[in-house]
Amino acid sequence: MLKKVAAALLGTSLLFGGITMTNSKETDAKVNYDLKGKVKNIIFMVPDGFSASYATNYRWYKGQEAAWDSMLVGMMRTYSANSEVTDSAAAGTAMATGYKTNNGVISMTPDGKSLKTLLEGAQEVGKATGLVATSTITHATPAVFSSHVASRASEADIAIQMLDHNVDVMLGGGKNNFITKAQGGKQETRDLLAEAKRAGYTIAEDANSLKEAKGEKVLGLFAPEGMAPELDRDETGQPSLADMTKTALNKLKKDKDGFFLMVEGSQIDWAGHAHDAAWAMKDAEAFEQAVKEVIRFAEKDGQTVVVVAGDHDTGGMSVGGYGQYDAKLEVLRNVTATGDFMVKQFNLDKTNIKEIVKTYTQIDLSDQEVEKIKAAGSKASIVLNEIISEKALVGWTSTQHTGVDVPLYAFGPKSDLFRGLKENIELPIIMGRLIGVNLR
């Protein structure tokens, strides 16, 4: 039924399995907005693909509480306008605009109307803005805050809109999308990097140039496509997510009117798609380091609201499994490369599989496991990842997203407004009103 009445989400309620799914207008009415007090800055942190299972496994992996555990205020529903299971475009649109849309759509309604975003609203009230991600900066989650396209695949057009929106700080991968491209499918081309320089952006291409970046506007493009996974980042000159977050904070805090910043830990999701539990945990660790940078800033500032929420679950990760009442996340602490990286080290006849896996995981594969990897062909990395996951007793149910509710965390003044079981469309409405922005 949900798929048949997607467009009605903008104007009426949805009946879904006997439960009334709230729409945007009802969300406005039911939230008690206590706006007494001062909020200057909003920092929205999105660990893409992160659910309660990731949070629990990460706690065991780390061996102690995570930085966000004390910030837990509730849970969040994630479904899109046309599916019980959302993609990042529809989930991001909901969290950027306060409206549900169809999977694949970037900050537009299902019938093609552009939706005002929280970032655009922040600009209207004079605030500086920033976007940070470890995917391409034109990927779905950062894209929803500063562009409006019918398909998330239109990353070249998204890059154009991001520059046209004059976002002050943009840091991530995706340099290829800013090199001379055809605009809107036409023959006309635009050199977006040259345009960015003329618009006053400092261009950063690695960790060193990011540290040295002068001026208040920075465009950091640290990889042709997505950035390296945290497990493999030492092989590159790329900055960490915490490095990028710290730079963004240092630039944006100079605006006397405050700022809006979105930080995405993009590759937790990519790890879930690949069933790479070690990659997921290491990128969760990298995301936690960025959260710590933000909390240090917010504690000192006293006028900053921090909201942390994954956009959906990826992979259907379990805590324990395989018929055992146990979890062995310590196995993943010894893994020093992604499955993708390890498979690329296999020789042509695949006679070195045991040696490579032992080097990067300290795991001794059985002959049967080696043969299983050999027989997997193009799916060798996911088979390897599942073997490692099984040894850590981390299960998977899908290579795609799932529709489970996700944890919601908040810190700072008015963080109590985020308590309870929220619709994802509620978050931008609340954050917007705290800084004087009405997305309606």
Q: Are residues 306 and 247 in the same domain?
A: yes
Is 31 part of a structural domain of the chain? no
Q: Are residues 135 and 245 in the same domain?
A: yes
CA 330-335-339 angle, 5° bins: 130
Q: For residues 76 and 91, what is the distance between their CA atoms, to the nearest angstrom?
A: 11
Q: Is 17 left (phi over 0), alpha (psi -120 to 50) or beta?
A: left
Q: Domain with 373 in it: what CATH number?
A: 1.10.60
Q: Are residues 110 and 148 in the same domain?
A: yes
Q: Are residues 227 and 250 in the same domain?
A: yes
Cβ atoms within 10 Å of 241's Cβ, excluding its own? 31
Q: Are residues 252 and 275 in the same domain?
A: yes
Q: Are residues 376 and 248 in the same domain?
A: no
335-366 pLDDT tens trace: 999 999 999 999 999 999 999 999 999 999 99
Cβ atoms within 10 Å of 193's Cβ, excluding its own? 18
290-326 pLDDT tens trace: 999 999 999 999 999 999 999 999 999 999 999 999 9
Is 246 part of a structural domain of the chain? yes
At 4 the pLDDT is: 37
The mean pLDDT of 398-423, rounded to a whole number, is 97
Is 263 part of a structural domain of the chain? yes
Is 33 part of a structural domain of the chain? no
Structural domain of residue 366, as residue ranges?
A: 330-391
- pLDDT band (50, 70, 90) for residue 181: low
Is 62 part of a structural domain of the chain? yes
Q: Are residues 203 and 113 in the same domain?
A: yes
The mean pLDDT of 33-49, rounded to a whole number, is 83
Is 398 part of a structural domain of the chain? no
At 190 the pLDDT is: 75
Question: Are 105 and 158 in contact, with CB atoms under 8 Å apart?
Answer: no
pTM: 0.92
Number of domains, the chain: 2
233-269 pLDDT tens trace: 988 999 999 999 999 999 999 999 999 999 999 999 9
Catalytic residue set: 88
Q: Are residues 248 and 381 in the same domain?
A: no
Q: Are residues 298 and 381 in the same domain?
A: no
Q: Are residues 107 and 205 in the same domain?
A: yes
At 423 the pLDDT is: 97
Is 20 part of a structural domain of the chain? no
Q: Are residues 173 and 314 in the same domain?
A: yes
Is 288 part of a structural domain of the chain? yes
Evaluate if residue 170 carries a pLDDT over 60: yes
Q: Is 419 left (phi over 0), alpha (psi -120 to 50) or beta?
A: beta
89-137 pLDDT tens trace: 999 999 999 999 999 999 999 999 999 999 999 999 999 999 999 999 9
Which range (143-147, 213-217, 249-253, 418-422) has the least confidence? 213-217
CA 107-110-113 angle, 5° bins: 60
At 234 the pLDDT is: 87
Q: Domain with 300 in it: what CATH number?
A: 3.40.720.10
Strands 181-182 and 169-173: unpaired
The torsion angle over the Cα atoms of residues 250, 251, 254 and 260, rounded to 10 degrees, is: -100
At 220 the pLDDT is: 98
Q: Are residues 301 and 383 in the same domain?
A: no
